[in-house]
Homo-oligomer: A and B are copies of this chain.
């Protein structure tokens, strides 16, 4: 089968978000062993002017749901970014996987030339074709926040390796 706009997006998000749930499980075990509360993770940052752990997960979620909804031409689910515990962050990841899986492949296939307009926080409008949006905006942005989440856990001493990252 040929690669298409569904096969290049939804299964990627679902797989990496599933891997992330596995990292969060290992983070729980680490916290138990070291006897600290998992809520400590939520505020960790790689640099003082980088977003904290909880925001990294929320934005990875946003990147995935926003990409799939935009390519499919449906409304992006709006979720409050109010996760304050590890349980709630895990639920957010699961809800994202469920949403991505709920959008039929046919709604994404053929979206290469769909016009995608992104309004930035400063009001600038970025305009992409569907394919450029997927490969030069949504995917790198998704991986940015997924990898930063992983890096924060590694930094915090959680025992993770490349096979956990890739999900083999």
Contact = CB atoms under 8 A, between A and B. Distances in A.
B154 A46 contact: yes
A2 to B, nearest CB: 6
A112 B154 contact: no
Contact of A151 (B135, B151, B167): B151
Given A3-B8, A148-B147, A154-B47, A139 B136 contact: no
A137 B166 CA distance: 7
A8 B148 contact: no
A4 to B, nearest CB: 6
Interface size class on chain A is 35 or more
Contacts of A2: 2, 4, 112
A151 B154 contact: no
Number of chain copies forming the complex: 2
A165 B151 contact: no
A138 B99 CA distance: 25
Contact of A139 (B50, B139, B154): B139
Given A4-B3, A46-B155, A16 B131 contact: no
Interface of A: 1-5, 7-8, 11-12, 15-16, 46-47, 50, 112, 126, 131, 134-137, 139-141, 143-144, 147-148, 150-151, 154-155, 157, 162, 165-168
| 6 nearest CB pairs, A to B | A143-B143, A147-B147, A47-B154, A12-B135, A151-B151, A3-B131
